[in-house]
Amino acid sequence: MILYLLSIVLLVLLAPILLSYIKATKMVLLFKRPISIFQGYRNFAKLMHKETIISKETSAITSYAPFLVLSPLIVTMFFLPPIVVGSYYVSFVDAFTITGLISLSTFFLMLLGLDSASAFGGMGSSREAFISALVEPAMVLTIFSVSLMAGNLGVGQAGVNLAEHFPKEHMASFLFAGISFFILLIAENGRIPVDNPETHLELTMVHEAMILDLTGVYLAIIESAASIKFIIFASLFASLFMPFGLEFSAPIAILIFIVKLFIIATAVALLEVNTAKLRLFKIPNLLGLAIVFAFLSLITFYVLGA
């Protein structure tokens, strides 16, 4: 139980570091002087000290939504597969619930965007709605497909099962699901070909546009929600698609898990450096790919059993 809580706290703490790490890696690759990987914390601390400015166009939604954006994600953290064998985990929560919780968070984020009455907020919400509408089916399908392979619809249990018995006979489905999930990871977290978190350019931004009018603590909450979302996706990917290293003793297993997370982050950074941001209306091509792979994975499993 302690291990369980500890790992959650660890992941929450790791979240800002991971995002800063991606940024730093990118800067290194672009021959810039990298930022510190603790930049996330610095930003957080800075924002926490600022006063909150609420624009007068907004309504009650703005004062509640940030918490409602964060809380489903925090709840989700409790449902992730274990990172160490023997630690407590919530075995039974399935893909639909996890996707639902993430969607709940996105739902309020989009409302937040629309609440400020600015063109940017609406634009961001509109794009986010578009992207998440395409992401959700793919995500549900992917996780379901993987959990079916693992023999249990509960994601936590699926992670454990996969670690114990890797589904070699379903390699094809597994691979498809993996590709799909990685695309989703990029799309849902607003990484480069889908969104560019670093610019505030109206043509490109999605996530940043929605939170353009937030300041202070609210912004801090939203930023940490974003980083937690990334860590959720990353750890899901790590548990479901890299199911090894759990059987070691706790410190080593945790270390292995952190390494996995950093590998994923590096992959994302590499991808970001090497691709250009897609036009908004090209995004469906990418997400369509994710949906197709997710669907393929499910149907391959269903029909061919492969």
Partner 1 sequence: MFIFDTLSLVFVALILFGAIPNIFYSTGYLPHIQRKTHYQLHYFAFIFSMIGVVVSANALVFLFFWELMSLTSWQLILTEAKEKSTIEAARFYFIMTHFGFVFLLLFFLIITDGNLDIDFASMKLIASHFAYPTLLFFFLLLGFLSKAGAVPLHVWLPYAHPAAPSPVSALMSGVMLKVAIYGMFRFLFDVLYPWPLEWGITILTLGALSSLIGVLYALSEHDIKALLANHSIENIGIILIGFGMGMIFDTLGLYTLSTFAFIAALFHTFNHMSFKSLLFMSAGAVLHQTHTKNMEKYGGLIKVMPITALAFLIAAISISALPPSNGFLSEWMIFQSMLSSSHIDNISLKLAIPFAIFALAMTGGLAIACFVKAYGITFLGLHRSTNAKHAHEVNFWMKSGMVLMAFVVLSLMLFTPFYIEWFDKVLVGLGRNSVYGQIFPNGIWNMHSVGINGGIVSPLILFISLLGVTALMMFAYKVFGVKTRVHNAWACGYKTSAKTQYTATGFAGPIRRFFNWLYKPDEHFEKQTIAGHETKFSSSSYEVHVKPLFEKVFYRSVAKAVNFMSYWVYRLAHFEQTRYSAMIFNIMLIVLFSYRVFSNEFSWATFVLEFIVMMISVKILIIGDRK
Q: Which of 83, 123, 177, 286 binds partner 1 (CB under 8 A)?
A: 123
Write out 95-107 in H/E/C secondary structure. HHHHHHHHHHHHH
Place of tokens 């070691």: 248
Among the listed ranges 94-102, 189-197, 242-250, 269-277, the one in contact with partner 1 (CB under 8 A) is: 94-102
167 in contact with partner 1 (CB under 8 A): no
- Positions in 62-81 near partner 1 (CB under 8 A): 64, 67-68, 70-72, 74-75, 78
54 in contact with partner 1 (CB under 8 A): yes
Please tell me the distance from the alpha carbon of residue 193 to that of residue 92, in angstroms, as a whole number. Answer: 34
Q: Count the site residues for partner 1 by CB under 8 A.
A: 81
CB 162 within 8 A of CB 246: no
CB 231 within 8 A of CB 11: yes
Q: Which of 3, 11, 17, 141 binds partner 1 (CB under 8 A)?
A: 141
Please tell me the distance from the alpha carbon of residue 303 to that of residue 306, in angstroms, as a whole number. Answer: 8
Rounded to a whole number of angstroms, the distance between the first and last alpha carbons of the chain is: 36
If one counts every other C-beta atom within 10 angstroms of the C-beta of residue 86, the result is 12
Among the listed ranges 12-20, 27-35, 150-158, 258-266, the one in contact with partner 1 (CB under 8 A) is: 150-158
Q: Which of 45, 88, 302, 306 binds partner 1 (CB under 8 A)?
A: 302
In the complex, least distance from residue 33 CB atom to partner 1, rounded to whole angstroms: 28
55 in contact with partner 1 (CB under 8 A): yes
Please tell me the distance from the alpha carbon of residue 142 to that of residue 150, in angstroms, as a whole number. Answer: 12
CB 297 within 8 A of CB 141: yes
In the complex, least distance from residue 299 CB atom to partner 1, rounded to whole angstroms: 5
- Positions in 219-248 near partner 1 (CB under 8 A): 221
Place of tokens 């809580």: 5
Q: Which of 44, 52, 175, 250 binds partner 1 (CB under 8 A)?
A: 52
Q: Which of 6, 27, 175, 217 binds partner 1 (CB under 8 A)?
A: 217
43 in contact with partner 1 (CB under 8 A): no
Place of tokens 């609420």: 54
140 in contact with partner 1 (CB under 8 A): yes
- Positions in 260-289 near partner 1 (CB under 8 A): 280-281, 284
Place of tokens 């094809």: 172
Among the listed ranges 20-28, 46-54, 172-180, 235-243, the one in contact with partner 1 (CB under 8 A) is: 46-54
CB 96 within 8 A of CB 140: yes
Place of tokens 């992207």: 131
In the complex, least distance from residue 30 CB atom to partner 1, rounded to whole angstroms: 26
The partner residues of 154 in beta bridges, in order of sequence, read 94
